[in-house]
Amino acid sequence: MPSSRIRLCFGPDPVSQWVLRVMFLWLVASSGHAALPILTNYLHLGDSVENNWPGVQPKPQGTNLLALFEISDPVESTLRLKQRDIHGVWRIRLNGREIAQLYRQTAERVAYYAVPKEAVRSGRNELSIHPDNATDDIAVGLIEWIPKSLRTHRQLHPLKIRVREDGSGLPLPARIHVVSMQGEEADLYYCEGQDRAVRKGLIYTRGAETKLELSAGTYRVSAMRGMEWSRAEQVVLVGGGESPVPEVDLRLIREVQTPGYVACDTHLHTYEVSGHGNATLAERVVGLAGEGVELAIATDHNHHVDYRPYQSKLSLNVFFTSVTGNEVTSDNGHFNAFPMDPMGSVPVWKETNWVKLVEGIRAKGAKVVILNHPRWPDMPRNPFTKAGMNRSSGDRAQGQVFPFDAMELVNSTALQKDPMYLFTDWFALLNRGERITAVGSSDTHSVEDPAGQGRTYVPSSTDDPARIDVDEACQAFLKGTVSVSLGIFVEARVYGRFGMGSLAPVRGGNITASVRVAAPGWIAPRRVKAFLNGVMVSEQSIIAQPGNALDREFSFRIRARDYDSHLVFVVIGDGVTHPGWKTYENYTLAATNPIYLDADGDGRYASPREEALARLGRVSPVLGEVKKLIQSTDPALAVQIATNARGRLRASEVESLREWMESKAKDHELFGLYVRHLPGATP
C-alpha cells in the first residue's frame, strides 16, 4: 500500500483539523478498494452565505481547494466528485495542468472527469479547484481518484445525432435532450465544443452533426426548436455491440406559421456579464438559434452587450437579428431598454424616481422601455406594491407616474401561479387610460431555461430573421401591435381588418372578431377568452388533438359597450412537462394587445377613466348620484366612476361609498378588489 500525505487548503490557509480526518479515511479505503478518497468533505467555496444547501455549511469555507495525495502507479484515470451551483469557470488542475472545468449546472450532481496519464505523477500529486471569479459560490467535495480511464469506468460508447428539417433535409439549429428510459437526464461525455452548449442531458447545436459518448444503456433522444416547430424523438440502444456507431436522425417540421411576424425575446442574460446564471455569450447565441428566436434583445444587468461578434464567429447571423439593450436594474424595479449603443455609457441605474430614471434611459438612445416582472421578487416588495397600485382602478396611492412603454405579462422563468394575475394589473392600467403594451419574454440566465419560451411576436415587413428592421420593431412595441406568447401564437382582427393597436368603429352595437390560434402538436391550447375593458365577455373551448398541430380561427360576436372600450383576447393551454421545454407553472398562454373600439364615432379612443370623468361631470357631486351612475353601467366603468368620485365627495360620503362598494363585492370581483386596494386597506 502506498504511503500518503494529504493537505487541504481552502483559500490561503490549511485546515489542519480536517487533514487528519481525511488521511484516516484514505488509509482505510486504500487497504480494500481501488478508488482513492482525496476529500471526504462537502465544502462551500465562494464569498456569500447560502442557507439552502443541505449538507453544506452556510458560510463559505474558502475560495479555492488544494489537495495533496500520493500515487505509486500513474495511469489514465478518472476523477469523481460531487458538485452543485456551478455557474462560472472553475478550473480543475492536476500538478499545474488543467484537466477539466467543473460542469456548469445549478442542480446537485455526481460528476466524472477524465484524467490523462501524463497529468499524473508517481509520488506526490497536487489537485486544485479554483475559480476565475471568486464571487461564484459552489459546493464541491467527496472527491475520489479512480485508477481507470473515464471510458472504461463509465462504460462509454459513441453516438451520433443529427437534426434536420423534414423535407429539405437541411441541418437545423436545435435543442437536443438525452434521457434514460426512466426519464433521468444523461451524463454526456466528449461532447463539448465552441459551436454548442452542453449541460447534463442537454445539447444546443447550431446544426452540425453531434458526436458524443454515453454509458451503455437505452436512451430517449429528442429534438426541438422552440414553439413553432415539432418535437421529434427516437429510442436508441448504446453499447449493445452494434457496429457501426449508432445514429439518431431527427426530423423537425415547421408547425406554426407566423407570416408577417417575427419571434422576439426582450429579456436575455449571460453569466459572463450579469454575474449569475450559467450561460456564456457563445452559448447564448447558439441557444437563441436553437430556439428559433429571430429578434434577440441582449439585456444584461446595467451593461451593454453586443451579440453580433459571437454570431459572426459561429456563423449564426442568418438565424436572428440581435439588438443591444440593457436591463437597467434599480432598487425600485428593473427596466429593459433598447436599442442601446454597444459602446455607449450605461444609464444611471441607482436612481429610484421612475420619471428621472426613464428620462435618463431614453437620453442614452432607448426607444422602448419595458417594466420587467412587475410582481417580483414577492408581493410585499414588488414595484406595484411599493407604488400602492390599486389592482382594480389602476390608481397609485402616492400618485406615482408610470413612464414605461410596456410591461411583462409573461416572464417564463418568473411565472405567476395564476396566469391571469398580471393581466388584472394590466387591465386596471388600461382602464385608467395608460397605453402600456403587453410583452412576453424568457428572462433566461442559464442554458437550461430556453430562450424564447416566453416571447413577443412583432410585426415585420420581412420574414428574413437576418434583416429585421429594428426601428420598425420598436414602433410596433410603442403602437401595441405585438402579441404575447408562451407556447401559443394568437392574432385577432375586428371586422376582418382592424388588428392590435387599431381603432375600430362599432357598427350597430355589436362587433365581430376573428381570432387565429396556432400551436405545435406538443402543446394543447384549451380556451380562448374575450375581455372587454378587462371583463371577460365571451369564451370558447379549444379541442386540441394530442400530437397534432393546431391552426384554427375562432369567430366572436360581442355586444359592445355604449362607450369606447378596449378588446383583448387571451388563450390558455396546458403546461408542458417534457424536460426539453418544461414550463415553470402548469399552463401555456397567448394574448393580444388591445384592439380599441370607437363606440361614439368621434374617431378617437377615450378610456374608461375619461368616460367616468365625463359622466361625473354631468351629475351633482353627491353620493346618491354617484351610486346611480355606478349601478347603470358595467363593472370596469363602475370602478372608474367610484375612484374618480372620491375627490368630489365629502369625507363622510367617501367612507359611505367605500362601504357600499364593499357590499357589492358579491356582484363582481372588481368591486371587492377595488376596496381591498384602497389606501389604508389590507389587500
pLDDT digit string, tens, across residues 394-434: 999 989 999 999 999 999 999 999 999 999 999 999 999 99
Q: What is the average per-residue pLDDT within 371-376?
A: 98
Q: What is the average per-residue pLDDT within 352-380?
A: 97
Where residue 386 falls among pLDDT bands split at 50, 70, 90?
very high
Q: How far is CA 234 from CA 209, 237, 249, in A?
A: 16, 10, 8
Across-strand partners of 97?
A: 94
Q: What is the average per-residue pLDDT within 478-488?
A: 99
- Return residue ranges of the chain for CATH 2.60.120: 8-150
Verdict on whether the full-model pTM lies above 0.75: yes
Q: How many Å apart are CA 124 and CA 6, to the nearest integer?
A: 9
Q: Express the helix, strand and coil content of the chain in percent, nearest 5 each.
A: 20, 35, 45
Which residue reads 457501426 in cell numbers? 244
Reading the block at residue 222, the C-alpha cell is: 429528442
Q: What is the average per-residue pLDDT within 445-458?
A: 98
- Return residue ranges of the chain for CATH 2.60.40.1120: 156-252
Q: How far is CA 73 from CA 80, 125, 149, 533, in A?
A: 18, 12, 14, 77
Query: CATH for 487-606?
Result: 2.60.40.10
Count CA atoms within 13 Å of residue 293 on its CB side: 34
DSSP character at residue 2? -
CATH 3.30.470, domain 8-150, yes or no: no
Which top CATH class is 257-484? alpha beta
- On the question of pLDDT at 514 being above 90, the answer is yes
Neighbours of 385 (CB within 10 A): 16
Please give the angle made by the CA atoms of 258, 261 and 264, to the nearest 5 degrees. 110
DSSP character at residue 342? T
Reading the block at residue 157, the C-alpha cell is: 460508447
Are 100 and 30 spatial neighbours (Cβ–Cβ below 8 Å)? no
Is the N-terminal amide bond of 339 cis, ω within 30° of 0?
yes
Which residue reads 459602446 in cell numbers? 343
Where residue 192 falls among pLDDT bands split at 50, 70, 90?
confident
Q: How many Å apart are CA 134 and CA 88, to the nearest integer?
A: 9
243 exposure class (CB count in 10 Å sphere: 0-12, 13-18, 19+): exposed
Q: What is the average per-residue pLDDT within 273-288?
A: 95
Q: What is the average per-residue pLDDT within 662-671?
A: 95
- For 247-268, the pLDDT digits (tens) are 999 999 999 999 999 999 999 9
Are 645 and 616 spatial neighbours (Cβ–Cβ below 8 Å)? yes
- On the question of pLDDT at 356 being above 90, the answer is yes
Q: What is the pLDDT of residue 398?
A: 83
Query: CATH for 156-252?
Result: 2.60.40.1120
DSSP character at residue 377? S
Q: Give the least confident one: 150-164, 183-197, 567-581.
A: 183-197
Q: What is the pLDDT of residue 194?
A: 79
Whole-number mean pLDDT of the chain?
Answer: 94
Q: What is the dihedral sign for C-alpha 592, 447, 209, 246?
A: negative
- Return residue ranges of the chain for CATH 2.60.40.10: 487-606
**Greater model confidence, 683 or 186:** 186
Q: What is the pLDDT of residue 20?
A: 25
Q: What is the average per-residue pLDDT within 662-667?
A: 94
- On the question of pLDDT at 368 being above 80, the answer is yes
The rounded percent of the chain whose pLDDT value lies above 90 is 90
- On the question of pLDDT at 19 being above 60, the answer is no
Where residue 31 falls among pLDDT bands split at 50, 70, 90?
very low
**Greater model confidence, 5 or 345:** 345
Q: How many Å apart are CA 575 and CA 335, to the nearest integer?
A: 28
**Greater model confidence, 79 or 32:** 79
Reading the block at residue 507, the C-alpha cell is: 357598427
Q: What is the average per-residue pLDDT within 76-91?
A: 96
